[in-house]
């Protein structure tokens, strides 16, 4: 539905986003991960048609975003900016209704009422934005991004600084939008959140370092550590384990070893243990977390500036 | 006016209504412009006992218009001249104060980090800039309109007999309906244009006021009697100014760089 094709953005001589290509399909949620200054916000701004790529293009359903068609295509996008950016002197309702009209919503009041209710903001509708807590401001900003019922949603750190309850509420809302067929691109520092909600994960540090399903990424970086629990003393079968890994060890009923390719070698290991008379009770693979994947790719950035 | 311009204009007006002190300079300048001609042409002559129509300087300044109103007394002719000149000042000076609001409307959005979500909407650059200009102009008009009525009513009450009727001419109408709004639109559009290219509100305001110096020259020439524009000339000037505003709007749209607004302003 929305695609980045070789997106590149330079500021002077500094390349902030370098040849990034990714797609977000209908009913898909992609998490954009990367350290501060990695180019996440710049990528999102290019996808939202707010800034021009130096090279490459952003496209919606195959139509390239340009200055000429920007106004028409932006109507399909809901963009949560890094800062909430609410008009402080206006109430929550006024903020949302004015944005609903800016997005050409046919019945702005009704759309705002529905959204306020859905997000549990009805009680705060008459409060001025300046009076809201940081978390509530973020929630209102999210409501603003969704007020025109967009089919593409770009959210720049939607749960940053939110308490767990509101963050959960936001995640639920994203799930609903995904179920409704929206394409969602969500930048976050919260790896646990990305692991839980994302269909695919894009790791970016100026360049796109990885882009795949979380499970596939984890498998790719699984450490290959296998633990086999047998009935009785495991040391009886240590020789077999050491034929797979010379460093294998036995502690009580457990054999622990490192396999070069855990997916492929585990069945062979179990077969040999059983042939040698072992009663295999449990085999477990130590799985890599998204954090391991992230840390594998992301290197300290000496520039470390906001981008 | 389309829905998006109306929506943003409504936001601008709500902000002004919730921040009434921002209107105070317009009110003060309006009151000053309202009082000055009456002090000059009615209060001072009564206090000093001097007659306006016998003051060679006033008669000289009133110059070309002096012979145009034979039905008026000498004092009435000088009053008519001054009241007509101050009508233009009364319409334009509050707008120069509104230029602050126009500068703030653009740079302030950026400083408050409200510009990015606004630019993410389907709002076109032309719609954004028109809404910003009207958002600064309308409060000035709303504040000035009662002042204008008061100005005319005071002329009817305090000026020499016949002056008010003499003021109710096509010349005055052209000044109020065409020249004043034309000058206001140009001043505010210039401010918005400059504000969209600079990073600080003060810079925008100062540069915009600087650009109005030629206008000040015309007003000064009118005051000193060197220039006397007829009703037709004023109307033509008003229409011309609105044309200039439209050109400025096109130029403003061309130089408004959304990318730079988001990436270069810090």
- Chain A environment of B4 (Cβ under 8 Å): 101-102, 104
- On the question of pLDDT at A305 being above 50, the answer is no
* Contact residues for A256 (Cβ-Cβ < 8 A; gap 6+): A225, A226, A227, A228, A248, A249, A250
Q: Where are the beta strands (DSSP E) in chain A?
A: 2-11, 14-24, 29-33, 55-60, 63-64, 77-80, 152-156, 183-188, 200-205, 207-212, 225-230, 249-251, 254-258, 280-285
Q: Which of the residues in chain B have pLDDT under 70?
A: 1, 63-67, 211, 215-216, 218-229, 265-266
More confident site: B215 or A211? A211
When scoring B1, B9, B122, B253 by the number of chain A Cβ atoms within 10 A, the one with the most, hence best to mutate, is B122
What is the third-level CATH fold of A222-287?
Answer: Alpha-Beta Plaits (3.30.70)
What is the third-level CATH fold of A2-218?
Answer: Rossmann fold (3.40.50)
Q: For residue A238, what pLDDT is reported? A: 94
Q: For residue A301, what pLDDT is reported? A: 65
Beta strands A280-285; A225-230: pairing state: antiparallel
* Contact residues for B135 (Cβ-Cβ < 8 A; gap 6+): B8, B9, B11, B12, B13, B16, B101, B102, B105
Question: pLDDT tens-digit profile of A238-284?
Answer: 999 999 999 888 999 999 888 888 778 899 999 999 999 999 999 98
Domains A2-218 and A222-287 share a fold: no
Beta-carbon separation of A98 and B112 below 8 A: no
Most confident of A56-70, A156-170, B14-28, B169-183: A56-70
User: CA-CA distance, A146 to A185, in Å (whole number)?
Assistant: 13
Beta-carbon separation of B113 and A51 below 8 A: no
Beta strands A254-258; A207-212: pairing state: unpaired
Chain B nearest CA to A48, separation (Å): 7
Q: What is the pTM of this model?
A: 0.80
Q: With a CB-CB cutoff of 8 Å, which residues 3-32 of chain B face chain A? A: 3-4, 6-8, 10-11, 14-15, 18-19
Q: With a CB-CB cutoff of 8 Å, which residues 106-125 of chain B face chain A? A: 112-124
Question: pLDDT tens-digit profile of A286-301?
Answer: 766 777 777 777 776 6
Mean pLDDT across chain A:
89
Return the SS3 of A28.
Answer: coil
Which residue of B113, B116, B121 is in closest CB contact with A102?
Answer: B121
Q: Where are the domains of chain A?
A: 2-218, 222-287
Q: For residue B265, what pLDDT is reported? A: 54
Where helices occur in chain B by DSSP H, the ranges are 3-17, 24-38, 44-48, 56-66, 74-103, 109-111, 115-119, 125-158, 163-167, 170-174, 180-195, 201-211, 213-223, 231-255, 258-263
User: CA-CA distance, B13 to B134, in Å (whole number)?
Assistant: 10
- The alpha carbon of residue A192 and the mean position of all alpha carbons in its chain are separated, in whole angstroms, by 9
- B255 contacts chain A (CB < 8 A): no
- Chain B environment of A72 (Cβ under 8 Å): 122
A197-214: average pLDDT: 91
Return the SS3 of A246.
Answer: coil
Q: For residue B171, what pLDDT is reported? A: 76
Q: For residue B198, what pLDDT is reported? A: 80
Asked if residues A249 and A242 have their Cβ atoms less than 8 Å apart, the reply is no
Closest-CA residue of A relative to B127 is A102
Q: What angle do CA B236, B242, B247 make, to 5 degrees?
A: 125
* Contact residues for B31 (Cβ-Cβ < 8 A; gap 6+): B147
Q: For chain A, which residues lie within 8 Å of any Cβ of chain B, measuring from their own Cβ?
A: 11, 45, 48-52, 71-72, 74-75, 77, 79, 81-83, 85-90, 94, 98-99, 101-104, 141, 144-145
User: CA-CA distance, A152 to A146, in Å (whole number)?
Assistant: 10
Size of interface A-B (CB pairs under 8 A): 81
Question: pLDDT tens-digit profile of B124-160?
Answer: 999 999 999 999 888 888 888 888 888 889 999 998 8
Beta-carbon separation of A81 and B116 below 8 A: yes
Least confident of A148-162, A174-188, B165-179, B222-236: B222-236
Beta-carbon separation of A85 and B115 below 8 A: yes
């Amino acid at each position: 539905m929305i695609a980045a094709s070789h997106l590149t953005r330079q500021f002077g001589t500094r390349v902030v986003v370098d040849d990034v290509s990714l797609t977000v399909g209908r009913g898909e949620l992609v998490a954009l991960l990367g350290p501060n200054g990695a180019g996440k916000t710049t990528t999102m701004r290019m996808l939202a048609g707010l800034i021009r790529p130096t090279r490459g293009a952003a496209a919606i359903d195959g139509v390239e975003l340009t200055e000429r068609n920007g106004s028409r295509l932006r109507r399909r996008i809901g963009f949560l900016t890094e800062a909430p950016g609410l008009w402080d002197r206006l109430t929550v309702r006024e903020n949302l209704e004015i944005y609903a009209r800016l997005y050409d919503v046919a019945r702005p009041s009704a759309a705002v009422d529905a959204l306020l209710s859905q997000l549990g903001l009805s009680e705060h509708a008459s409060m001025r934005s300046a009076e809201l807590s940081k978390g509530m401001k973020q929630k209102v900003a999210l409501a603003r991004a969704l007020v025109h019922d967009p089919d593409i949603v770009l959210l720049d750190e939607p749960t940053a600084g939110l308490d767990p309850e509101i963050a959960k509420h936001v995640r639920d809302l994203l799930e609903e939008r995904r179920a409704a067929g929206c394409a969602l691109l969500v930048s976050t520092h919260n790896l646990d959140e990305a692991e839980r909600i994302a269909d695919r994960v894009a790791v970016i540090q100026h360049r796109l370092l990885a882009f795949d399903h979380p499970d596939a990424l984890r498998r790719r970086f699984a450490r290959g550590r296998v633990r086999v629990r047998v009935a009785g003393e495991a040391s009886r079968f240590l020789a077999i384990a050491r034929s797979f890994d010379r460093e294998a060890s036995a502690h009580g009923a457990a054999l622990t070893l490192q396999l070069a390719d855990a997916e492929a070698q585990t069945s062979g290991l179990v077969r040999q243990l059983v042939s040698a008379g072992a009663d295999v009770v449990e085999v477990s693979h130590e799985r890599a977390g998204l954090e391991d994947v992230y840390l594998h790719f992301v290197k300290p950035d000496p520039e470390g500036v906001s981008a | 006016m389309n829905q998006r311009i109306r929506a943003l204009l409504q936001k601008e007006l709500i902000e002004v209504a919730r921040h009434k002190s921002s209107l105070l300079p317009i009110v003060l300048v309006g009151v000053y412009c309202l009082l000055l001609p009456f002090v000059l042409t009615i209060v001072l002559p009564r206090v000093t006992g001097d007659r306006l129509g016998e003051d060679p300087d006033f008669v000289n300044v009133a110059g070309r218009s002096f012979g145009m109103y034979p039905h008026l007394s000498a004092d009435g002719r000088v009053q008519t001249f001054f009241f007509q000149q101050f009508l233009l000042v009364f319409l334009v000076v509050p707008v120069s104060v509104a230029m602050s609001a126009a500068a703030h409307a653009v740079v302030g959005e950026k400083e408050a980090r409200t510009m990015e979500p606004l630019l993410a909407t389907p709002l076109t650059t032309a719609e954004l800039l028109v809404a910003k200009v009207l958002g600064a102009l309308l409060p000035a008009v709303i504040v000035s309109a009662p002042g204008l009525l008061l100005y005319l009513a005071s002329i009817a009450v305090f000026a020499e007999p016949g002056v008010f009727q003499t003021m109710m001419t096509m010349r005055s109408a052209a000044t109020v309906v065409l020249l004043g709004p034309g000058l206001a639109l140009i001043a505010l559009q210039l401010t918005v244009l400059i504000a969209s290219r600079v990073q600080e509100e003060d810079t925008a305001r100062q540069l915009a006021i600087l650009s109005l110096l030629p206008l000040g020259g015309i007003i000064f020439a009118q005051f000193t009697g060197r220039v006397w524009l007829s009703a037709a000339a004023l109307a033509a000037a008003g229409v011309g100014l609105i044309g200039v505003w439209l050109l400025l709007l096109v130029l403003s749209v061309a130089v408004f760089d959304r990318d730079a607004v988001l990436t270069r302003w810090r």
